[in-house]
Amino acid sequence: MGRPSLIDSTEGIEKRLAILDAAASVFMNLGFSAASLDDISDAYGATKGIIYYYYRNKSALFFAVQRRAMELTREAIEPHALAGGSPAARLRGMAHDHTLLMMEHLAYLRVAAQGLELHLTGRTTASERAELEDILKLRAANEALYMRVIEEGVQSGDFRPMDPKLLVKPLLGALNWTSRWYHPRKNETAKDRERVADELAGFAVSALLPHPQ
């Protein structure tokens, strides 16, 4: 049977994540085309050999960063989506933790935005398109978690009557836009990020609530 490969060991997983952190930050700063594996191995602080042990090439790293961004997003929102509680309380939890995630893993989410942009322009090879389609499915699954809570809220009357399939788009736009405008400030604290997450969660919930007029 042989010994388990380094790739599957705890040490291997930790190394993979550290490589992805380095790759995310390089792609964020340089963009996919300009970034090189040398930049990434420099940022990681090791030779290219160790990176090639885990990842076939630059494209594989680019997609792995995007995949991880979608997984991190799911981990942030799914527990709230599936929890008990009112649709408004669950949506608030999702939007809050989603926003916090974007601020704390900015590089991953910004690279995910780059990937979406690349997909929209369509200048990709067939195998890249297959990878991008796969990531779009993860993105769609996260969107479905939001849609599910919106639909429940519309049915229960907690939210205004609306078309959930349409309204989920500006809702995600409001949250995803964070990766465009947010830049960590000098001396920023966890409390500062908490305040941003609270305000954005309030915005998201308020957008769906009924209101007297």
DSSP 60-109: HHHHHHHHHHHHHHHHHHHHHHHSSS-HHHHHHHHHHHHHHHHHHTHHHH
Interaction of residue 191 with its own copies, rule CB under 8 A: no
Choices 14-22, 39-47, 69-77, 205-213 (CB under 8 A): range interacting with its own copies: 205-213
Q: Are the beta carbons of 92 and 201 closer than 8 angstroms?
A: yes
- Helices 190-208, 164-176: axis angle to 10 degrees equals 160
| Residue 154 burial (CB count, 10 A) | 18
**Residue 94 near its own copies by CB under 8 A:** no
> Pick from 38, 180, 184, 190: which binds its own copies (CB under 8 A)?
180
- Mark 101-120 with x for binding to its own copies (rule: CB under 8 A) and - for no binding: ---------x--xx-xxx-x
79 touching its own copies, by CB under 8 A? no
In the complex, the residues that contact its own copies under the rule CB under 8 A are 28-31, 33-34, 88, 110, 113-114, 116-118, 120-123, 160, 162-163, 166-167, 169-178, 180-181, 196, 199-200, 202-204, 206-213
